[in-house]
Amino acid sequence: MTTAPPQETDSTSSDGIRALPLRTAGYYLLLLGLVVFYLLPMETGFMTSIKTAVGVRESLPFLLPGTDLSFQIPFVEFDVDTMLEQTTDEKWRDAYDTLSRGMVNSMLFTIPSTILCAIFGSMAAYGLTLVKWRGQVFVLALFIAGIFIPYQAVIIPLTELYGFIDLQYRLGAIWALPFLSEERHPTILELIITHTAYGIPICTVLFRAQYQTMSWEMIEAARLDGAGLWRIYRRIVLPLSIPMFSVVFIFQFTQIWNEFLFSVTLIRSSVDEAASVTLILGQLGQAIEGTDFPLRMAGAFVAAAPTIVVYILFTDKFAEGVRV
Amino acid sequence: MARAKLDEVTKIFTEDDGSEVVAVDDVTLDIDDGEFLVLVGPSGCGKSTTLRMVAGLETITDGEIRLDGTVINDVPAKDRDIAMVFQSYALYPHMSVRGNMSFGLEESTNLGDDEIAKRVEESAGMMGIGDLLDRKPSDLSGGQQQRVALGRAIVRDPAVFLMDEPLSNLDAKLRAQMRTELQRLQNELDVTTIYVTHDQTEAMTMGDRIAILDDGELQQVGTPLECYHRPKNLFVAGFIGDPPMNFLQVTNEDGTLIDHSFEYPLPPQVASAVEGTDSLVLGVRPEDIELEPDQSRADDHTISATIDVVEPMGDENVVYLRLADGATIARPDLAEQDAAEGTHVNDAAVEGSDDAKEGIAGESRSTIIATIGGMQHFDDGQDISIRIPPDAIHVFDADSTEALHNRTLQDADAVPGI
């Protein structure tokens, strides 16, 4: 058998001038295409959000305010005065003013549910993976089944359940405390409970995947070192699952923050005291006289901001966590 | 420090399909205060399970384990005052060496931080890892991690040390070095130690006594030399010693061992010991076989053979010999074979006799190994005689595998522990 001599790469042309390899150029072209594909909607949204009503009417959505295409060179009509005239930050202010109430409400149930999901999920995974007991498989099966229950199937039972429990009435004394209100916080509590319950199964499965790779001998070593169940969790398992906590925080925060169906069924109306950001966003810029696109776009950016902040905060650990 | 006693300890695992596997069968062991006991056997023999029962990591199906007279069957692992070194070291990866070593003291004692720090530094000094205290396990070499694992055990000052193949992840040179170091450490600390290994060299060199397990059953407990020179059965004889003891399948006819190709008259004293048993296995250690190049000097105790391969080791030569056609080698193949059942030995013997069919596997089985001085020279393929001195032979009952006669030792009194 003969082996072919190594192929001369086409990175150097015959006259010795270094040319961009065709292959590399292709990659960059593809990357550029992807960047445009993914960023164009964002760019369009942003451009729309800073335009006045006139601006929206008179320029293409993805172009700067006061800009239009033409059939004469340079194919773009642009005028600084028109641009400034048609640019406004009013929609962002509007969106922020309208949504801030919902943002606070959403924070109030998203942050506690995210933290609770992660903690309970981690504990459940620990109990199902690193502790041996009878009937474990059955309980695990229940958790996994929990992931696959469709939201739609639980909406009616859920409203019935909270109607029956009536947190507003039962915990009446609590709502009388300072900073709490009867109109708002019972619903928030319902949302916390619901989102936590719904998030635990998937969190458990995520943590379980990591705990299964943990050294069993290490857990045994800790037992022989005199640590009990709780101490092993607290001092060995928990510190080792910090990267997975980041994954779960980002994942659950985004899920719960963006969730709409539970908000609709439990809060019902965007004018409710406890209205979530998604609920208000749905109504934003909708009026009989038409849709206010700039306002809706600005609202979408404002509503998405917290998830981006969470991504940035946990990125390092997230990268570590998904490597597990 | 404590005296540990295992009393008829049995462990039965129930598989998922409901079938039961006996991992440890009725093992009784008495380990003295400060003793170094090595549990040795092939993989799957139940040695690790036995250790884990002492540690409290496995439940005990039957029998009792006592520490200083107190039954600890139902004492949870965390309250047993036992430290264990694992094969994988099982260090806590997120803690520094200091954190790893102080964890046990923090969890199991009420010592103050100063006292804990003092003890950790003492033990780290003893293990030569004093300058590594602030590093994470991932920054350490395998040998250093091993030391940390040992340090983590000794800092606890436990009643009993358990070690589960602690040296098997080290390279050969470091392993030999740690072997001596561990012995020195154990002598110094004088803590009762149970050490599990599959390596007979570790067992021979480290243990005050060794306990040989096979298929969950205790085969023999004794000092290393006792097990070497006075094996109780075929399994122990074959397991202890490297290269292993040679076995020949023979029949007994009025005090003479008969095989197709040779007859070996037994000394009267041995003949009376084996009287009444027809099917026997003759055992002889490689170092006891003498090679006689001059075949004319053959006598009653020589067998003709051909040299197959010579492996020079420098100080000695390991000589692989093939016996004349028809000789039957009984080699209870340790890993695969159940030496406790005589029939298996017979099977091997039958297979071994048929060289042509067996190929390489058969050849290795029908090979006699002798070790001779490094200065003696032989050629591959040379026909010679091998002499098996009558005072060096072991004779086993082929059916029960029990030893009927062990070699005579002239200076037995001079060597302690036999």
For residue B93, give the chain A residue with the closest CA.
Answer: A240
- Chain A nearest-CA distance from B334, in A, is 28
- Chain A nearest-CA distance from B191, in A, is 17
Query: Do residue B90 and residue A227 have CB atoms under 8 angstroms apart?
Result: no
- Hey, what amino acid is at A49? S
Return the axis-axis angle of helices A185-211 and A136-147, rounded to nearest 10°: 120
Whether pLDDT at B181 is above 80:
yes
Which pLDDT band holds residue B153 (cuts at 50, 70, 90)? very high
| pLDDT at site B219 | 95
Eight-class DSSP state of A177: S
| pLDDT at site A57 | 84
Average pLDDT over residues B51-57: 94
| Distance (Å, whole) CA A139 – CA B60 | 27
Pairing of strands B192-197, B160-164: parallel
How far, CA to CA in Å, does A253 sit from each of A117, A210, B25, B382? 10, 20, 55, 81
Q: What is the third-level CATH fold of B243-405? A: OB fold (Dihydrolipoamide Acetyltransferase, E2P) (2.40.50)
Average pLDDT over residues B195-212: 93
Which of B77, B90, B152 lies at the smallest CB-CB distance from A217? B90
Residue to mutate among B51, B52, B57, with most A CBs inside 10 A, is: B57
- Four-point Cα dihedral B367, B370, B376, B381, nearest 10: -10
| pLDDT at site B115 | 95
Check if B82 contacts A (Cβ < 8 Å): yes
Q: Which residue has the higher pLDDT, B367 or B150?
A: B150
Residue from B263, B311, B266, B265 nearest B286 by CA: B311
- Sort out which chain A residues have CB atoms less than 8 A from B146's CB and list them: none
Among A87-91, A179-183, B194-198, top mean pLDDT goes to B194-198
Cis peptide before A74 (omega within 30 of 0): yes
151-210 in chain A: CB under 8 A from chain B: none
Pairing of strands B192-197, B36-40: parallel
Which pLDDT band holds residue A9 (cuts at 50, 70, 90)? very low
Mean model confidence pLDDT for chain B = 86
Characterise A292 by phi-psi region: left (phi > 0), alpha (psi -120 to 50), beta (else). beta
Which of A46-50, A170-174, A208-212, B164-168 has the lowest average pLDDT? A170-174
Q: Which residue has the higher pLDDT, A177 or B354?
A: A177
- Chain A nearest-CA distance from B377, in A, is 44
236-255 in chain A: CB under 8 A from chain B: 236, 239-240
- Hey, what amino acid is at B247? F
For residue B52, give the chain A residue with the closest CA.
Answer: A220
- Same CATH topology for B4-229 and B243-405: the answer is no
- Chain A nearest-CA distance from B107, in A, is 5
Domains of chain A: 22-86 (no CATH), 92-323 (1.10.3720.10)
Eight-class DSSP state of B232: S
- Tokens found for residue A256: 């719960």
Check if B322 contacts A (Cβ < 8 Å): no
Per-residue pLDDT of B76-90, as tens digits, reads: 998 999 999 999 999
| pLDDT at site B379 | 86
| % of chain A residues with pLDDT over 70 | 93
Residue to mutate among B84, B102, B110, B160, with most A CBs inside 10 A, is: B84
Residue to mutate among A211, A224, A232, A242, with most B CBs inside 10 A, is: A224
- Residue with tokens 């000789």, as numbered in its chain: B327
- Chain B nearest-CA distance from A240, in A, is 7
Count A/B contacts: CB-CB distance under 8 Å. Answer: 66
Whether pLDDT at B204 is above 90:
yes
Check if A218 contacts B (Cβ < 8 Å): yes
- Tokens found for residue A165: 């429990």
| % of chain B residues with pLDDT over 90 | 61
- Chain A nearest-CA distance from B97, in A, is 14
Within 8 A by CB and 6+ apart from B298, the residues are B292, B304, B385
- Sort out which chain B residues have CB atoms less than 8 A from A227's CB and list them: 78, 103, 107
- The answer to whether B340 and B217 are in contact (CB under 8 A) is yes
Return the axis-axis angle of helices A242-258 and A293-323, rounded to nearest 10°: 160
Which of B90, B109, B156 lies at the smallest CB-CB distance from A220? B90
Residue to mutate among B48, B49, B92, with most A CBs inside 10 A, is: B92
Whether pLDDT at A139 is above 80:
yes
Q: Which residue has the higher pLDDT, B24 or B418?
A: B24
Q: So what's the ipTM on this one?
A: 0.81
Query: Do residue A224 and residue B56 have CB atoms under 8 angstroms apart?
Result: yes
Within 8 A by CB and 6+ apart from B125, the residues are none
Per-residue pLDDT of B72-131, as tens digits, reads: 999 999 899 999 999 999 999 999 999 999 999 999 999 999 999 999 999 999 999 999
- Residue with tokens 């094996």, as numbered in its chain: B231
3-state secondary structure of B116: helix
Number of Cβ atoms within 10 Å of the Cβ of B162: 27
Number of Cβ atoms within 10 Å of the Cβ of B306: 14
Per-residue pLDDT of A259-299, as tens digits, reads: 999 999 998 888 888 899 999 998 888 878 888 899 999 99
- Sort out which chain B residues have CB atoms less than 8 A from A218's CB and list them: 90-93
| Distance (Å, whole) CA A101 – CA B193 | 68
Whether pLDDT at B257 is above 50:
yes
Average pLDDT over residues A110-139: 94
Per-residue pLDDT of B347-376, as tens digits, reads: 333 333 333 333 333 333 468 899 998 888
Whether pLDDT at B344 is above 50:
no
Superfamily (CATH H level) for B4-229: P-loop containing nucleotide triphosphate hydrolases (3.40.50.300)
| pLDDT at site B411 | 67
Check if A264 contacts B (Cβ < 8 Å): no
Query: Do residue A222 and residue B87 have CB atoms under 8 angstroms apart?
Result: no
CB pairs under 8 A, 24+ apart, for A180-189? A181/A273, A183/A272, A183/A273, A183/A274, A184/A105, A184/A273, A184/A274, A185/A274, A187/A266, A187/A267, A187/A272, A187/A273, A187/A274, A188/A105, A188/A108, A188/A109, A188/A274
Per-residue pLDDT of A247-261, as tens digits, reads: 999 999 999 999 999
| pLDDT at site A290 | 82
End-to-end CA distance of chain A: 43
For residue B163, give the chain A residue with the closest CA.
Answer: A221
138-177 in chain B: CB under 8 A from chain A: 152, 156
182-221 in chain B: CB under 8 A from chain A: none
- Chain B nearest-CA distance from A118, in A, is 20
Which pLDDT band holds residue B410 (cuts at 50, 70, 90)? confident
Characterise B376 by phi-psi region: left (phi > 0), alpha (psi -120 to 50), beta (else). beta
Q: Where are the domains of chain B?
A: 4-229, 243-405
Within 8 A by CB and 6+ apart from A251, the residues are A206
